[in-house]
């Protein structure tokens, strides 16, 4: 397998996407934040002192998708046409984050979706750390992607793998 972000001398490069065709591309990524059951209850009852955890995490994830090239050195700035972050309580002790990012462009949005899911998870941690420093961020993963030269990808067994 050839690594596209290295030149023939092994030096890091930004991939030239000038010859790639523009297609609709979609990527979906998830992250899971595990916590004490009491912490999840506080979130759902809107009793976290810093504010609405789900709303803040959703906004942070969307903002992160838009800023991915500022964080990941070889990412191209991409005209994102849509970014959505959904959060679901997984009883008794977790929040599942699903980030979906879309574009019509000449490169994919996998990194944007992964960055959105990760940042939303870190926002939950930040907002709740005063009551639960033992939280963990787990299973940050690409679930599926479509469009582009490499074709579609769908993670196997994802329904059973969520929690």
Token digits of residue 29: 């990524």
Residue 113 and residue 143: Cα distance in Å, rounded?
A: 10
Catalytic residue among 52, 93, 126, 161: 126
Report the side by side order of strands in the sheet with 153-154: 80-90, 94-105, 23-34, 136-146, 153-154
Q: Is residue 1 packed enough to be buried (19+ CB in 10 Å), middle (13-18) or exposed (0-12)?
A: exposed
Q: Is 16 a catalytic residue?
A: no
The helix (H) or strand (E) run that includes residue 37 is helix 37-44
Catalytic amino acids? 126
């Amino acid at each position: 397998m050839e690594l596209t972000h290295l030149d023939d001398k092994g030096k890091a490069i930004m991939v030239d996407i000038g010859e790639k065709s523009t297609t609709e591309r979609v990527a979906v990524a998830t992250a899971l934040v595990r916590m004490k059951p009491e912490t999840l209850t506080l979130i759902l009852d809107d009793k976290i002192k810093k504010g609405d955890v789900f709303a803040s995490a959703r906004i942070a994830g969307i903002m992160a998708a838009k800023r991915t090239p500022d964080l990941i050195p070889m990412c191209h700035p991409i005209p994102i046409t849509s970014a959505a972050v959904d959060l679901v309580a997984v009883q008794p002790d977790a929040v599942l984050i699903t980030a979906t990012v879309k574009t019509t462009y000449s490169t994919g949005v996998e990194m944007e979706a992964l960055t959105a899911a990760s940042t939303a998870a870190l926002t939950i941690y930040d907002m709740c750390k005063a009551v639960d420093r033992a939280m963990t961020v787990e299973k940050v993963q690409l679930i599926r992607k479509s469009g582009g030269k490499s074709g579609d990808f769908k993670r196997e067994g994802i329904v059973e793998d969520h929690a």
